[in-house]
Amino acid sequence: MHVPALRADWLTQTFVHWAYPPARIQSLLPRGLTVDTYDGSAWVSLTPFVMAGVRPPGSPAALPSFAETNLRTYVRGPDGGQGLWFLSIEVACPVMLAARAVGVPYHVGRLELARRDGVVAYSGARRGGGPGYSLSVRPGEPIRPSRRDVWLTSRWRAFTRQLGALWETPVEHAPWPLREARLDALSETVTRVAGLPPPVTEPVVHFSDGVRNVRLGVSHPVRRRGRALDGAAPDG
C-alpha cells in the first residue's frame, strides 16, 4: 500500500466465530468470490469493537471514537487471494455511511460497550427496529495464536460489490495480540437477517485489546487478466 486513504485504531475487539457448511456460505456470495474454508468448514464471525482515531493520513484531526460490529465471512477473490466479505456492518457513526458508495454494507444503529468486573459487554440495535445483538465476554490471558487463530483473525483485504463490479479495499496493521476469552452470554438476530440459519456449533472466541495505526487503502474495482470483472469499466 503506497498511500492509505484512512488511518484508524481498532480497539477492545471480540471475535465470535461459528463454523458453517461451505455451500451455505457460497450461496450468499457474489459472482467472483469463492468461500474459503479451514478444515473443511466455512466460518462466520461476529466482531464488535471500538473504532478510534479515524483520520486521513497526516491529519491531526480525527473523528470521535465510536462502536462498530461486523458480521463477516472468509473468501477468496478471483486471483485466489484471501479476503473478507461483510454480510453486514452495524455502526454508531453516520459519517461511515459514505462507504456505501463502494458497497460497504453499513447500517446505523445504537451501539454500546461497557466494562465491569472483568467482563466486556457489547450491545447494538439497528435503527428502525432491525436486527440486534447482546454479548458479554471475559478476556483471559494472552495466547500464542495457532494457525486457525491467525486464519480467523488476519485478513488483508475486504471485498464489496457495487454498480455491477466487485471492489477490494487493502488493509495493513500489526498482528492481532490475542487473548483467550470466555463467552458469558450471547443473543443475536444479525445472522438470521443476513440469510443464515442459527449457528449450531459452539463458537470459537477470541479477545484483543486492539491494533493501532491501521491503514486502509483506496477501494478499487477488482481486475482479472487486465480487465475489470463483470464488464465494469477500468478505473483511471
Q: Is 42's pLDDT higher than 50?
A: yes
DSSP at 163: T
- pTM for the model stands at 0.91
Looking up cell 491501521 gives 214
pLDDT at 2: 56
- Residue 135 DSSP SS3: strand
| pLDDT of residue 224 exceeding 90 | no
pLDDT at residue number 227: 41
Lowest mean pLDDT across 52-66, 85-99, 169-183: 52-66
Give 127's DSSP letter: T
181 - beta bridge partners? 139
Note the pLDDT tens digit of each residue in 187-198. Answer: 999 999 999 998
The predicted structure's pLDDT at residue 58: 77
Mean of the per-residue pLDDT values of the chain: 92
Question: How far, in Å, CA of 129 to CA of 126, rounded?
Answer: 6
Q: How far apart are CA 136 and CA 129, in angstroms?
A: 22
Q: What is the pLDDT of residues 139-188, one digit of tens each?
A: 999 999 999 999 999 999 999 999 889 999 999 999 999 999 999 999 99
Nearest residue to 161 via CA among 218, 101, 217: 101
Share of the chain above pLDDT 70, in %: 93
pLDDT value at residue 1: 57
Residue 163: per-residue pLDDT: 86
